[in-house]
Amino acid sequence: MNLELSAEQEAVRQLAAEFVAREVTPHAAAWDRREAVDPAIVGKLGELGFLGLTVPEEHGGSGGDHLSYCLVLEELGRGDSAVRGMVSVSLGLVAKSIAAYGTPAQRSEWLPRLCSGAALGCFALTEPGSGSDAAALTTRATRDGADWLLTGAKVFITNGTTADVALVFARSGGPGHRGITAFLVPTDSPGLTRREIHGKLGLRGQATAELVLDGVRVPDSARLGEEGGGFRLALSTLAKGRMSVAAGCVGIAQGCLDAAVGYAGQRTQFGKPIAGHQLVQQLLAEIAVDTAAARMLVWQVADLIDRGEPFATEASMAKLFASEAAVRAANNAVQVFGGYGYIDEYPVGKYLRDARVATLYEGTSQIQQLLIGRALTGVNAF
Ligand SMILES: Cc1cc2nc3c(=O)[nH]c(=O)nc-3n(C[C@H](O)[C@H](O)[C@H](O)COP(=O)(O)OP(=O)(O)OC[C@H]3O[C@@H](n4cnc5c(N)ncnc54)[C@H](O)[C@@H]3O)c2cc1C
């Protein structure tokens, strides 16, 4: 793996860093308090091509490699995980699925809009009764002539109330993963209702929602991929999605490092900056090692994808390590800030709240451990 960024990758990283410093960081605390990011951010992300990274230009995307994508997500995660998550879901889970599995008509209907920020996507897999065991989902897809009728409930759906299209996974056949099919459902479809979930620990600026589908009618042309192929599609999409969550976590950890080093140099106790106390340096060193190690695991996954190599286990490793590292880094940063870390005048408290969900969604830490363990042993311990 080449650890040096190309001039092009460095330029993308710089563009993202400047964008975040100008358009995201100054507003992140206010968006968090009012539980909504400014919707105008979507168009701004689209203008810079950040909602179309890695999607081929002929489909309306902005192209680029997966390392560039991770560099952008790291910068967004450092600015505001709510914004990073909007991109990870709309681009990483929805647009990329359409690019990989869509028909020419589906690609031309959705990709130019999703990649420009004219539309947002959401990924509706989780249900009240099926989270980690996603293959147990019960939302039904029933044939009605040339159409399908979708009925069921989805929960914890990122971008749920703001998305224009939902990638919905529903049971069209028998039990188990082979009975699941994916559909592209316009969110203004009759019978689809959405309710925002409030009171989240973190990611408060992000719209997380419940979706209820009550006989939502979609034509067969809205089916994404093969009938019965929905679960395989979800798994392959989530494997790349784990890399993007991990990249966002690197951004959180880097943000914690910068904030904690800066504060430790200014805050004086016992007659010297706290940076001069060995135990404070220990906290800073732990954050630095977590950040660097998480970044290398993320870059490894991007490198494997760009070389066309298998990457799913490495993506689980990156997601597991980076999410736990971001929580540790944020917790250590709060410690460096002392009581000031516990109030929202400084960013580290928000980093801790935002990092916490990363060990839960797109497969909990336990699920990543089971995936890695199965790859190592060949034994399924689920
Ligand atoms: C803010 C937020 C945004 C989200 N966004 C989306 C989204 O956009 N789309 C979407 O579809 N979903 C989304 N989710 C849902 C998320 O993916 C699920 O919450 C996650 O998969 C875990 O499912 P669960 O909450 O039902 O927990 P459960 O599956 O009930 O797990 C509870 C606990 O049991 C453990 N556990 C479960 N099975 C095993 C096992 N076999 N062995 C060991 N331990 C096990 C888990 O690790 C966890 O600790 C989001 C969630 C949140 C909180």
pLDDT in tens, 215-274: 999 999 999 999 999 999 999 999 999 999 999 999 999 999 999 999 999 999 999 999
Nearest alpha carbon, ligand 1 atom 45:
366
Q: Ligand 1 mean position to 293 CA, how many Å? A: 25
> Residues 10, 74: contact at Cβ < 8 Å?
no
Q: What is the CATH T-level fold of the domain 122-228, as seen in this structure?
A: Butyryl-CoA Dehydrogenase, subunit A; domain 2 (2.40.110)
Domain ranges of the chain: 7-120, 122-228, 232-377
> pLDDT tens, 271-318?
999 999 999 999 999 999 999 999 999 999 999 999 999 999 999 999
Q: Does the active-site annotation cover 8? A: no
> pLDDT tens, 345-361?
899 999 999 999 999 99
Which residues have CB under 8 Å from 97's CB, separation 6+?
Answer: 123, 167, 182, 224, 233, 237
What is the identity of the amino acid at 260? A
Q: Look up the CATH number of domain 232-377.
A: 1.20.140.10
| 108-146 exposure pattern, b = at least 16 Cβ within 10 A, e = fewer | ebbbbbbbbbebbbbbbbbbeebbeebbebebebeeeee
**pLDDT (0 to 100) of residue 306:** 96
Would you place residue 3 in the very low, low, confident or very high pLDDT band (cuts 50, 70, 90)?
A: confident
SS3 64: coil
Q: Ligand 1 mean position to 134 CA, how many Å? A: 9
The CA distance from 249 to 319, in Å, is 8
The ligand 1 site (C-beta within 6 Å) comprises: 89, 123-126, 131-132, 156-158, 200, 203, 208, 357, 360-362, 364, 366-367, 370, 382
> pLDDT tens, 59-114?
999 999 999 999 999 999 999 999 999 999 999 999 999 999 999 999 999 999 99
- The upper half-sphere exposure of residue 272, i.e. CA atoms within 13 Å in the direction of its Cβ, equals 5
Q: Ligand 1 mean position to 41 CA, how many Å? A: 28
Q: What is the CATH T-level fold of the domain 7-120, as seen in this structure?
A: Butyryl-Coa Dehydrogenase, subunit A; domain 1 (1.10.540)
Ligand 1 atom closest to Cα of 200? 1
Q: Whole-model pTM? A: 0.98
**pLDDT (0 to 100) of residue 2:** 76
> Residues 321, 294: contact at Cβ < 8 Å?
yes
- The secondary element (H helix, E strand) that includes residue 297 is helix 278-306
Beta bridge partners of 273: 268
SS3 141: strand
